[in-house]
Amino acid sequence: MVRTQQRKPIIHLVSMPMILLVSSQLKSAIGMIQPACYTRTGKQAVRSFTVNNLSRTLQSSRGSIGSRWMSASSSAAEVEDATTSIKHKSSIPAFRIFYNDVYEVHLPKGHRFPMDKYQRVRKQVQKVVKELPKEEQEKVDCDFHVSPLATVDELVTTHSYEYVQKVLSGDLTEQELRNVGFPWNEENVKRSFSSVGGTVAAAKFVCEAAEQRKDNPSSIPPWAAHVAGGTHHAFHDRGEGFCVFSDIAVAANVALQSFPNIERILILDLDVHQGNGNAVLFQGRPEVVTFSMQCVANYFSEKQQSDLDVELPPDCTDQTYLMTLSHWLKRIKRESGPYDLVFFQAGVDILAEDRLGRMSISQKGVETRNKLVFDFAMDLNVPLVITMGGGYPRTDDWAPILQAHSNVYLQARQYLADTGASRKQ
Ligand SMILES: [Zn+2]
């Protein structure tokens, strides 16, 4: 592929019928208002400093946490090995799914975060896939892996060493913990590390498979997913909104560092909340483009500037939502490419039944949204990484949120199966 100068997308607002639907809520926010949080030239020095110091810290004053963390890391080594050895059958599409519900996280009674949803969604997805007829299963090379813990090396591509250390050692202040919304305990630390690790592993898997695909460019691009992640509210040195680290940002930085074939990345964030962490983390970084479509009445904290922010009104229904998304996906494809890797933050808190979402999208509407993204990624002919994002069931009825989350993964698998089958004909 011939590349010219790498740039952020230049998408100008012009008069279009689509904009009339949401008129004042739509806004294109393109620009760079802050310097990058790290530079490539300074990165190596920062990494070696941080890793050495962190391991010293862990071995001395925080030995117990460090040893547990290290043992959890090594138990995940098999998963890491699996991701570096691509064994999928190249003749059929690949879809690797990571999950991290093995970490038993204790939250205070009555805590409003639906921690159980991860395991329930993963089990539902795994059950449906397992019960498919054999001939259907054989259409996609789909397997499930426990998310490895992210390494410190990986985390400090995106977050400050001091912050990573504070998370590990439990030295976050009361206010910092309140902003995240979770109490500190070791299981939560592991879960935070695995929430990043699964997305990093998914990205590594598709990037390695994409490298191999160079020999067979007409094959279907590899996809992977994390039944967790999409924690898009975390910044360089602090977390917020149930997000300790920013998994997609770390995975994007690791992919750029580790894979020469990955030069430009797109983050499609379709959670009802703005991906404010990713927006700030990639300001001034032309190699990663952030697109966030959110409810104008539902900012978690101060609004930030993504490369492209699209705001939709509260109680927004399917037609407005889908027409707007379709319009912007077409423009992104036409005006801001090319890309080598796409991340999809597939939050389902846009659902009408969501407790915190404030939008009115139907189950069918979320499925059509997913299909628009899958069509978009397949048209670009690049690897896709899907993360879970938000979804907050009402206390008395978890079914709609669980169904919507599960559908994202099941639909993706089916989409690959159908695409593979149609290309064979
Ligand atoms: Zn959300």
Residue 2 inside a domain? The answer is: no
Per-residue model confidence (pLDDT) at position 392: 95
State both tokens at 105.
């996280």
From CA 339, how far away is CA 59, in angstroms rounded? 42
In this structure, are residues 274 and 303 in contact, taking their beta carbons and an 8 Å threshold? yes
Instruction: Report the Cα 143 to chain-centroid distance in Å.
Output: 19
State in Å: Cα 91 to ligand 1 middle: 37
Whole-model pTM: value is 0.82
Residue with tokens 């990986």: 154
Name the residue range of residue 247's domain.
17-424
Residue 12 inside a domain? The answer is: no
Per-residue model confidence (pLDDT) at position 109: 81
State in Å: Cα 349 to ligand 1 middle: 6
Residue 39 inside a domain? The answer is: yes
State in Å: Cα 364 to ligand 1 middle: 19
Q: Which residues contact 339 (CB under 8 A, 6 or more apart)?
A: 264, 265, 266, 289, 380, 382
State in Å: Cα 160 to ligand 1 middle: 24
State in Å: Cα 244 to ligand 1 middle: 14
Determine the residue type at 269.
D
Residue 352 inside a domain? The answer is: yes
User: Total domain count for the chain?
Assistant: 1
Using alpha carbons, list the distances in angstroms from residue 423 to 70, 92, 213, 418, 419.
45, 10, 16, 9, 6
Taking the CA of residue 122 as centre, how many other CA atoms within 13 Å lie in the half-sphere pointing to its CB?
23
Per-residue model confidence (pLDDT) at position 189: 94
**What is the full per-residue pLDDT of the chain (425 aa) written as tens digits?**
334 344 454 343 322 323 323 322 222 222 222 222 222 222 332 232 233 333 333 333 332 333 333 333 333 333 333 333 445 556 799 999 999 998 878 888 878 888 889 999 999 999 999 999 999 999 999 999 999 999 999 999 999 999 999 999 999 999 999 999 988 999 999 999 999 999 999 999 999 999 988 888 889 999 999 999 999 999 999 999 999 999 999 999 999 999 999 999 999 999 999 999 999 999 999 999 999 999 999 888 899 999 999 999 999 999 999 999 999 999 999 999 899 999 999 999 999 999 999 999 999 999 999 999 999 999 999 999 999 999 999 988 999 999 999 999 999 999 999 999 988 77
Beta bridge partners of 308: 291
In this structure, are residues 19 and 13 in contact, taking their beta carbons and an 8 Å threshold? yes
Using alpha carbons, list the distances in angstroms from residue 210 to 259, 299, 414.
10, 36, 20
State in Å: Cα 272 to ligand 1 middle: 5
Residue 10 inside a domain? The answer is: no
Residue 135 inside a domain? The answer is: yes
State in Å: Cα 241 to ligand 1 middle: 9
In this structure, are residues 298 and 272 in contact, taking their beta carbons and an 8 Å threshold? yes
Residue 87 inside a domain? The answer is: yes
Residue 201 inside a domain? The answer is: yes
State in Å: Cα 277 to ligand 1 middle: 12
Instruction: Report the Cα 352 to chain-centroid distance in Å.
Output: 22
State in Å: Cα 395 to ligand 1 middle: 17
Q: Which residues contact 85 (CB under 8 A, 6 or more apart)?
A: none
In this structure, are residues 183 and 108 in contact, taking their beta carbons and an 8 Å threshold? yes
State in Å: Cα 191 to ligand 1 middle: 19
From CA 320, how far away is CA 335, in angstroms rounded? 22
State in Å: Cα 12 to ligand 1 middle: 27
CATH of the domain at 123: 3.40.800.20
State in Å: Cα 356 to ligand 1 middle: 8
Per-residue model confidence (pLDDT) at position 423: 86
State both tokens at 141.
């090379």
In this structure, are residues 67 and 191 in contact, taking their beta carbons and an 8 Å threshold? no
State in Å: Cα 175 to ligand 1 middle: 21
Closest to 418 measured CA to CA, from 387, 372, 375, 357: 375
State in Å: Cα 400 to ligand 1 middle: 16
